[in-house]
Structure 1
Amino acid sequence: MSIYLTVVVKAKPEHQQEIRNLLYSLPELSKKEDACIEYDVHQSIDDENIFILNEKWKSLDGLSLHNEQTYSKELFTAFDKLQEQPIIYRSK
């Protein structure tokens, strides 16, 4: 079963460029993972501080492995400082 994620990130205005650089580095790294089917990052044209990540993973195990990668952990750590609002994870 594939796992689809849509993640919305709102950067603090003073950290917009820093979070942009972090987010735009993720697709290249993530697509090297066996479980990654798709990984795209988009920046809102209405609000330059909003970013949308669209991800597709082969399995929940593959996504869990992705979240354990060094670059993923560095991003999660940086979010506390850079992000305007925390990410809310919801599952069914």
Structure 2
Amino acid sequence: MIAITAVLKSKSENAIQVLEMLKLLVTETRKESACKRYDLHYTENDFIIWEEWENQEGLDLHNTMPYLQHFIQESTDLLSREITIFKTVDVF
């Protein structure tokens, strides 16, 4: 199992737009067979996505999906900083 935590911060004036874009991303990603968890949490203009993937192949495939690529391209100007991604494995 591969765990990913993605942290995003929108510009305050773009928070609703980013939220709506992320909802679409979550909906589409949850349809992927290797996706075991893809949860969105937020407060104001901070967003966290908690992901769990069955294997690296599934994660690699996810990273090529058009809806993810579209989100990355369209959100660049809406975010106040680059997306931070942590890739981790279970310890305990």
Tell me the TM-score normalised to structure 2 length.
0.86
**Could you list the runs of 5+ residues in structure 2 that have no partner in the other structure?**
none
Instruction: Judging by fraction of residues, say which structure has more strand.
Output: 2
Q: 2: CA distance between counterparts of 1:43 and 1:74? A: 21
Q: 1:27 to 1:88 in 2, by over 3 A?
A: closer
Q: What percentage of aligned pairs have identical amino acids?
A: 33
Runs (4+) off by over 6 Å: none
Moved more, 48-57 or 11-20: 11-20
Tell me the TM-score normalised to structure 1 length.
0.86
Counterpart residue number, 1:3: 2
Per-residue deviation, 1:91 = 5.3
Counterpart residue number, 2:14: 15
Select which of 62, 76, 84 maps to 1:88. Answer: 84
RMSD over aligned CA atoms reads: 1.5
Deviations 1:43-81 (A, max 9, x none): 12xxx0001100000111111111111100011112321
Per-residue deviation, 1:31 = 1.3
Task: Kindly indicate whether structure 1 or structure 2 has the higher relative contact order, using CA contacts under 8 Å at least 6 residues apart.
Answer: 2
Per-residue deviation, 1:21 = 0.4
Q: 2: CA distance between counterparts of 1:62 and 1:42? A: 22
Q: Does 1:54 align with 2:50?
A: yes
Q: 2: CA distance between counterparts of 1:50 and 1:91? A: 19
Q: 1:27 to 1:90 in 2, by over 3 A?
A: closer
